[in-house]
Amino acid sequence: MTRIIVLTGAGISAESGVPTFRGAGGLWEGHRVEDVATPEAFAADPETVQRFYDARRRAVASVAPNPAHHALAALERAIGDDLLVVTQNIDDLHERAGSSRVLHMHGELGRARCAACGERPPVQDDLLPGPPCPACGERMLRPDVVWFGELPYGLDEIDAALAACDVFVAIGTSGAVYPAAGFVLTASALGASTLELNLAESEITPFFAESRLGPASVLVPEWVRELLAAPSRTT
Ligand code: BJW
């Protein structure tokens, strides 16, 4: 069976109404993302940062998965453990579409992280004014997101999956942030075929064997249909 890794970025959730980061209309238009998504920015003004993520948590709760998320969930139903979705997104739209094999390498809005004991409890409500950590009782919960300079989650598991995959597909990511931007090079060096699905060319387009331009809500269902129809199940 073909083993597939799908890396998703903000572009897959854009048509659900979740803003992307970079470019026109992006979440951080007018700011360098590298200047605001940092532990230093949180230390300097924790209230503003908590308010920002509380607002995003509420906004994500009011949107729904789109056909791209649903197509990946259908692919998992068809091939099971042979699909791993590695997402840079902190929303839960993959899970709400029905995917269960999802690795959130940049964390999740639906969790907090305790700066005192390291517990990562689920959260649904605002983190302001500051509920206590359910494990240690300290009021030091921060959003469970990975900022610049912090170690992304699951890198060992991702490395092992990249080494074993036959197909690597990146959907709706600008390729501006490492280590995720480098996964295509690792996968292709280890023999996987590579495909990019994006509305526009990205910083890493030249590294893919094939690149298709268009909205994820169209390209992803098309690709999944093609894959499941192909006798050998490759891209
Ligand atoms: C559509 C569409 C539609 C729109 N259909 N498509 C080399 C190697 C390793 C690290 C580094 C390196 N060089 C530099 C670094 C450090 C740094 C980094 O990458 N810096 C860059 C500025 C160069 N990386 C890090 O610091 C990372 N940590 C790390 O490397 O740790 C090492 C370490 C070792 C030992 C000890 C400690 C540490 C951490 C990176 C964390 C990134 N965090 C953020 C914020 C998360 C929280 C939040 O959401 O607020 O993650 S930044 C932000 O960018 C967010 C995203 O996940 C990430 C990627 O953005 P994404 O998803 O690509 O979105 P956009 O907006 O950029 O692009 C959208 C795309 O969609 C576009 O291409 C559109 O065309 C497309 N699109 N509509 C299809 N409808």
Ligand 1 mean position, distance from CA 177 (Å): 3
Question: Do 197 and 172 contact (CB within 8 A), yes or no?
Answer: yes
pLDDT digits (tens, 9 = 90+) for 125-155: 999 988 999 999 999 999 999 999 999 999 9
For the question of residue 106 being annotated catalytic, the response is yes
pLDDT digits (tens, 9 = 90+) for 37-57: 899 999 998 898 899 899 999
Probe residue for ligand 1, chosen from 21, 60, 144 as the CB with the greatest number of ligand atoms within 8 Å: 21
Residues 45 and 119 in one domain: yes
Residues 166 and 52 in one domain: no
- Domain end call among 145, 163, 197: 145
Ligand 1, atom 7, residue with closest C-alpha: 178
Residues 58 and 94 in one domain: no
Q: What is the average pLDDT score of the chain?
A: 94
Residues 57 and 77 in one domain: no
Whether pTM exceeds 0.85: yes
Q: Is the peptide bond before 46 cis (omega within 30 degrees of 0)?
A: no
Residues 86 and 173 in one domain: yes
Question: Do 60 and 68 contact (CB within 8 A), yes or no?
Answer: no
Q: Is 81 helix (H, G, I), strand (E, B) or coil?
A: helix
Ligand 1, atom 2, residue with closest C-alpha: 11
Q: Is 28 helix (H, G, I), strand (E, B) or coil?
A: coil
Residues 161 and 203 in one domain: yes
DSSP-H helix ranges across 62-204: 67-79, 93-97, 155-164, 183-189
Where in the sequence is the domain holding 46, given as residue range(s)? 19-62+108-145
